[in-house]
Amino acid sequence: MTDKQQYFSVATTAISKRDYTSAHKACVEVIQAFGDEPHAYFLLGIIHIEIGQINKAVKLLEKSNGIEARPLTYAYLAKCFALIGDLNLAQAAAKHAPPTSLTRALDLDTVGVALSRVGDHEGALSYFKRALSINNDNPQFHYNYGVSSKFAGSFTQARDHFEQAISLNPNFYQAHFALSDLGGITVEKNHINRLLDASRTCDKHVEGRLHIGHALAKEYEALGQYDEAFEALQYAKAPKQQASQDALADYEMLFDYLQQQADSPCGSANKNLIKSIQAHGAQDSSPIFVIGMPRSGTTLVERILSHHSQVASGGELQDFGVAVKSLANTPSQHVLDLDTLKAAENLNMQEIGECYLARTAYLKQDGQRLVDKLPFNFFYVDLIRRALPNAKIICLMRDPMDTCVGNYRQLFSIHSPYYAYAYDLNVVGRFYLRFKKVMEAWAQKFPGNVHIQSYEALAINPSEEVPKLLSFCDLAWEEQCLHVERNTLPVSTASKVQVREAINTRSIGRWKHYEAHTLTLQKLLGYC
């Protein structure tokens, strides 16, 4: 071939067929024949995204931009940065690829998904809207628009686009669940018959079974049919029970290690390795970490704090774990694992703290405080305390049965390594007991850093508990913090609907709807 475009045609066709070897060969041949060609490096970047080598993809896309900066290349850089959890760089890349600069619906949707992934749902909506103006027949585009609409609080818009996604693809399982998750289910207006039809087509489709089963459970719950709801959950999760057992085995090793640290006199397994600069960490008092089991009230506390005039919300940030992982440089593919936690003991604590602060600085407004609400940061409590000794850590503790049943009822991210424990109710119980024991030990040892907050106390008596929370965080009292329903910030968690309501007690004791189905868990947790 002598025509550059012929090489590109071969490469793009090969990428569409997932023949990445042929695509790579064609791009290399372009560079050999015509010199540094920006589109060749761009396509090489796309290939490396597809094979999961994101860091390599970033280098190739940046090489392409170094030759000729193009909005298209920035669009896929935004995707890469979102995939590796760098919110700042993802948003910065997106600014170089505004909606009007992109002409293909897929490219617009790509940037929208990247922004949605990093929590910028308002920004994502403009990309999804333009994508649909170009191609209104793609169910995935409608679904993505619906997801960001839901997180941004535009529930009617979200319903409309989920329905359009389903009308275009009746087996779009995620759209079925997302629609049911919005609530508003009544005897007269529900989707149960449609969901039952969908369930017959997904028996051997594990992800489809999970989405449809959870959707059915939500709608049965709304109608007060709790036996049917629990049966739907059991059916949905049955194929994943072994995954829960496997996940618990991995978590047990982490909990054993953390418990040993928490029970040791110095709070560290390797105190002789900690030099004075490491022990002091980064001297910054802006971070507030809100942690705890999922479904324990972490989002409520984040909404309370972020309604304060001096506090910005970062949402569920991966940055502390990513900072630890990048500095530990352990070979595993997981951000959180035992080898990484052990390797972190040899790191400079100040460097960890400064790395985290640098990664999250852009989220603060005018030097204010910042709430990081990633529940699973409880695995890093000792590292947070040492790397950021002036940070405040608030751990939510909710009724054990409400917490465990709440985890079982929730459809968490299927592909996240964090949540695999939640497919088996009794595994959830064992996970909870380990979490509770280690967190109580940290709070007792470091009361100035770690505060245990009862969800029930907060919900029942917010006028007393909210001032205590603010005081612990060294924040002045502001009346508006009691009124979370007036907080207009987007919500990117499972609590996206209910936290827009005033603080209430409706969730307390919800587990009792399933009392007859949870006898083993009740015994495990000491209820009977």
Compute the average pLDDT of residues 87-114. Answer: 96
Is 60 exceeded by the pLDDT of residue 292?
yes
Under 8 Å between Cβ of 284 and 454: no
SS3 370: strand
Under 8 Å between Cβ of 213 and 199: yes
Domains of the chain with bracketed CATH: 241-264+282-523 (3.40.50.300)
- pTM, entire model: 0.87
pLDDT in tens, 39-93: 999 999 999 999 999 999 999 999 999 999 999 999 999 999 999 878 889 999 9
pLDDT in tens, 351-394: 999 999 998 988 887 768 999 999 999 999 999 999 999 999 99
> CB neighbours (10 Å) of residue 440?
15
